[in-house]
Structure 1
Amino acid sequence: MRQSFYQYLMTLRNPDSHTMIAEFANNAFNDQYFPKQMQDYEELSNYLELNGSYLPNMDVFDEAYRMYLDKMN
């Protein structure tokens, strides 16, 4: 079974890093409502557009999601 996007994103957490991906992962970890079981791009994107005020822009999510797909394939 493929891991969820959140599970993958948590592998990118790094409190000492200031890259946009690491900061996204750190902030998603602190987002208690983040959809932890989702794999679907559209559903995740919709959630983040409405609730992801910690993202500077959606390009960060897009890049992280591409990395996720590469890892899962």
Structure 2
Amino acid sequence: MELRRSFYQYLMTQRNPNSHDEVAEFANNAFFDQTFPKQEKDYDRLSRYLELNGNYLPSMTVFDLAYQHYLDSEA
């Protein structure tokens, strides 16, 4: 399956400053992350980046959930 858009592009569709949903909060925080890999589509590369730089992410489970939603949205 060829992913049409990057994970970041998908994630930005989930932004909602008034929401307390974990994925929305992840998206809100990623928006302010100046070094987020905005063109990346690969799970492993994104996961590695977030493990080292995603101190705003309460748990990698939130990333896993968001990434699964990303894949589902691209299907």
Deviation of residue 72 (structure 1)?
Answer: 0.5
Runs (4 or more) in structure 1 with deviation over 4 Å come to none
Structure-1 separation of matches of 2:39 and 2:57: 20
SS of the residue 1:3 aligns to: coil
What does residue 28 of structure 2 align with? Answer: 26
> Is structure 2 residue 65 aligned with structure 1 residue 66?
no
Compute the TM-score of the two structures, normalised by the length of structure 1. Answer: 0.98
Q: 1:38 aligns with which of 12, 37, 40?
A: 40
What does residue 9 of structure 1 align with? Answer: 11
Percent identical across equivalent pairs? 68
Structure-1 separation of matches of 2:59 and 2:35: 19
Deviation of residue 48 (structure 1)?
Answer: 0.1
* Runs of 5+ consecutive residues of structure 2 not aligned to the other structure: none
* Runs of 5+ consecutive residues of structure 1 not aligned to the other structure: none
Compute the TM-score of the two structures, normalised by the length of structure 2. Answer: 0.95
Deviation of residue 24 (structure 1)?
Answer: 0.1
Q: How many pairs does the alignment contain?
A: 73
